[in-house]
Every structure is written in C-alpha cells, then in structure tokens.
Amino acid sequence: MAHYRDRPPEGVAELKKRNLSVECPYCSTGIIAEPVTEPVSEGGHIYFVALCPNHQTSGRYCKPFFVKYESLNNCIIEIYPLPESQWTDFHKSIPENIRKDYAEALRCGYVVAHKGTVALCRRVVEAICFDKLGGKVGDLKKKKLWEMIDSLKTEGFITESLRATAHEIRHLGNYGLTFKMMSLMRFLGKKQGRFKGLQGKC
C-alpha cells in the first residue's frame, strides 16, 4: 500500500484508517472523528463531514462538523465550526489568569493565528513561574524568563523534560513577540540548533 502522503484516501473506509484526531467543537473532547460523507479531494486537501463518537451519548448534542484533512502530514488541519475553548473548561485548581491565557491561546490556534498562539503560550509559562515560585527565588520581576524556568526545575516543581519543553515554548514565544526574525515555518524547520541564537536573551 502506498504511503499516506502519496495519495488521498479512497472512500470512507480508507479515510477511517488515517489520523483523524481532533477536538470536538461541541463537547470539547479529544476524539477520533467519524466520517459520514465520502471524502472530496480539492487543492491538495481532503474535505468531508464528520461526527463526534459522543453524539449519541446521553445529555450530549454533538452535531456534524466540517473537516479539512491533509494527507501530507496525515492530520486534520481545520474544522468548522471552531471549538469554543473557554477558561471555565479547565480545572479550578489552576489559577484563573493562567486558564484565561491558555484558553485564548487555544482559540488563536483554531483560527491559525500562529504568532498569537506562541506568544500566549509563552505568557502562560511565565504566569506559571510567578505562581509557583512566588518569593522563593528573590524578586521575580528582575529575572528573565529563562532563569525562572530553570528555577522551577531547581525548586523541584518540574522535571528536566518539562524544563526543556518550557524553554522551547519560551523560544517560540519570543518569535511571536519579536519583529526581526525569520518566518515561523523556517523557524520551526531548524533542527537541534534552531534556538541557539536566542539563548539567554529573554
């Protein structure tokens, strides 16, 4: 069988074998979309109508939604209507300001506002630093974000892998906040050394 990237799916049965992971725009649950129409290929993308597997669950009213799928990366890249991510969707144990920023970041992602997404994700990381560190490491307002992230690890709040992830979010957020930088796709395309020029700047 040819690789997914080589050709579009031929019919619903084959489409169901692809990666159809997405967030339902109605119940905000991570799901595997269920195609209910034959896929239509146009301009390098696949279009079809899908249902949430929870649409028949008691108390839920998930309706059909429109899907745009990309064979090249084997993933859904757009849906309509857009999910309605609200800060109240997240657990109350998370501080309200962090929930609000994270929900806004998700909404930016839904409308393909990439710079807004990464800038808000950076803001979320910074807010987490202030929430967790408090007065543990001196005056946080005088510290740069990279220092605060390292302090989260030093103080035992996060693991090494989470520290590395937080730094990547910081670097991407710097891109979203800075004018004089390369395009996002080129930025993401850099491999191991893609963040070297930004180390320690903010």
Evaluate whether residue 201 is within a structural domain. Answer: no
Total number of residues shown for the chain: 202
The whole-number pLDDT of residue 142 equals: 80
The CA distance from 18 to 28, in Å, is 21
Evaluate whether residue 198 is within a structural domain. Answer: no
Nearest one of 165, 162, 177, 172 to 195, comparing CA atoms: 172
- What's the mean pLDDT when you consider all of the chain? 83
Same domain as 59, residue 19: yes
**pTM over 0.85, yes/no:** no
Task: List the domain range (segments joined by +) for residue 138.
Answer: 87-193
More confident residue, 94 or 55: 94
Evaluate whether residue 182 is within a structural domain. Answer: yes
Out of 10-19, 34-43, 86-95, 186-195, which region has the weakest mean confidence (pLDDT)?
Answer: 186-195
Same domain as 75, residue 118: no
C-alpha distance from residue 2 to each of 9, 37, 43, 74 (Å): 11, 23, 20, 13
The CA distance from 60 to 55, in Å, is 6
Could you tell me the pLDDT band of residue 6, with boundaries at 50, 70 and 90? low
pLDDT at residue 103 tops 80: yes
